Chains A and B, each alone.
Chain A
Amino acid sequence: MSTKSILNLTVNGKAYEKLVEVRMTLADFLRNELDLTGTHLGCEHGVCGACTVIMNGEAVRSCLLLAVQAEGATLETVEGLADGDRLHPLQAAFQDRHALQCGFCTPGFLMTATAFLKENPQPTDAEIREAISGNICRCTGYQPIIEAIGQAAPEVGGKPRE
């Protein structure tokens, strides 16, 4: 068994095939092999939430996955949110509500909120608070983030999951 493996996956609609070291995390793969540096790494052990991406529809911490475990998977990262120059409704709401200052944690919050609103399109503030409790922000005090997610909810939420 080799310590390298061929990996096939789709990220933001684009298919990739790469030879990767098996010990490489998915987060490092996205950043270093695909140059998708929008996914940020804070703690690298699953606490801060900055590296959150959406894999097969579910928000996951990309630092807690090996890249090889994403074989065949469909991923969405923060780079896939905007449509050209047009911001995704969540991004626009974050800008509107000043829901970021330094921006380091923002990609993780956006991907968390994207997955959350798909599942719960009409959340209460309490539900939003719980949804983002796994993401750490050291600038905003969270309040503007909660407001932004609530503001974007009507535009983002699809049908509730059965």
Chain B
Amino acid sequence: MKPAPFDYYCPETLDEAAGLLEQHGDDGKVLAGGQSLMPLMSLRLARPSVIVDLNRVSGLDGIGANGDGGLHIGALTRQRALERDAGLPARNPLLAAAVPLIGHFQIRNRGTVGGSLVHADPAAELPAVTVALGADFVLASAGGERVVSADEFYLGYMATACEANEVLTEIRVPAWKTGRLWAIDEVSRRKGDFAMVGVALWADMDGSTCTDSRITLFGVGGRPVRVEKAEQRLHGAALDDATLKEVERIVFEELEPDSDIHASALYRREVGGVLTRRALRAAAERATEGGA
């Protein structure tokens, strides 16, 4: 199938892009890397009458350091650029480990960080990781800028707080704490496929005691799912087998996924619990081995 006809705009500045979206409202659609929108258009699941292509807008890509040790990532940064950033594993190992799990390398060559976040596929890695990291998203429109937390951004199945006249321009990731444990893991039928279930997590430790954590699952609901009861169980506890086994059970009970063609709800709850346990153990073991 081929995309239905549309008017194509290729602005070179953010102001121009925002102006076009203001003018065309719900008829307009932002095109970034095209790795999600183009399939939807080819399948005629999306038929926007106006395409605003961001690829020639300058200043929307790149990875930089915030003053407080965090990162700011331009929304148009290709996933492949993150993957190749030699400094990223030290600055944010969870984000660095998530990127190679996205699709295939040909997809990551074009796919953008912002595109994946705004497309908001509930099985995608980056939305869950940004929720786990407590990232903020900068949304720009003709009227100015606003900042929305990743947690507030995801409203439901492929629904976000990004209005039709807004463009995601930047992702702000808080500083990574030294010594923080982390892991990301997923189960998919084939390497590169969307995850049936995945988990991204981190835990801060005081000696062998967990002081804070964030556990976010993907593929188990309409949006990234934070399992707060499981997080609470970890706090003040050691990451020993008994605790992890209990966390597994809590995640199983806390998840409320739907069944679909790929997996049943029960399977997703089961795997969600097991993956969380394994990820926590992997995080703890990696730390013991002295790796970051």
* A residues apposed to B, CB below 8 Å: 1-3, 5, 21-25, 28, 44-47, 49, 52, 58-61, 63-66, 68-69, 112, 116, 130-131, 133-134, 161
- Going nearest first, the 8 A-B pairs with the smallest beta carbon separation are A134-B104, A22-B8, A45-B39, A58-B109, A64-B38, A133-B191, A1-B7, A23-B3
Contact of B8 among A1, A59, A134 (CB under 8 A): A1
* B residues apposed to A, CB below 8 Å: 1-10, 31, 34-35, 38-39, 42-43, 51, 53, 55, 80, 84, 103-107, 109-110, 190-192
Q: Which residue of A lies closest to B84 (CB)?
A: A161
What CA separation (Å) do A64 and B69 show in the bound complex? 36
A-B contacts, 8 listed (Cβ < 8 Å):
A49-B104, A64-B34, A65-B38, A65-B110, A66-B3, A133-B190, A133-B192, A134-B107
Q: What residues on B are CB-neighbors of A24 within 8 Å? A: 2
Q: What residues on B are CB-neighbors of A69 within 8 Å? A: 34, 53, 55
Given A23-B3, A44-B1, A133-B190; A116-B53 close (CB under 8 Å): no
What CA separation (Å) do A28 and B3 show in the bound complex? 12
B105 with A131: CB separation less than 8 A: yes
B107 with A65: CB separation less than 8 A: no
B6 with A22: CB separation less than 8 A: yes
What CA separation (Å) do A52 and B106 show in the bound complex? 8
A23 with B109: CB separation less than 8 A: no
What CA separation (Å) do A46 and B109 show in the bound complex? 13
What CA separation (Å) do A71 and B12 show in the bound complex? 14
- Using A45-B43, A64-B34, A112-B106 as known contacts, list a sample of 14 further A-B pairs with CB atoms less than 8 Å apart, ordered by residue number in A: A3-B7, A22-B6, A23-B4, A23-B6, A24-B2, A46-B35, A49-B104, A58-B80, A58-B109, A58-B110, A61-B35, A68-B8, A68-B10, A133-B191
B109 with A60: CB separation less than 8 A: yes
Q: Which residue of A lies closest to B8 (CB)?
A: A22
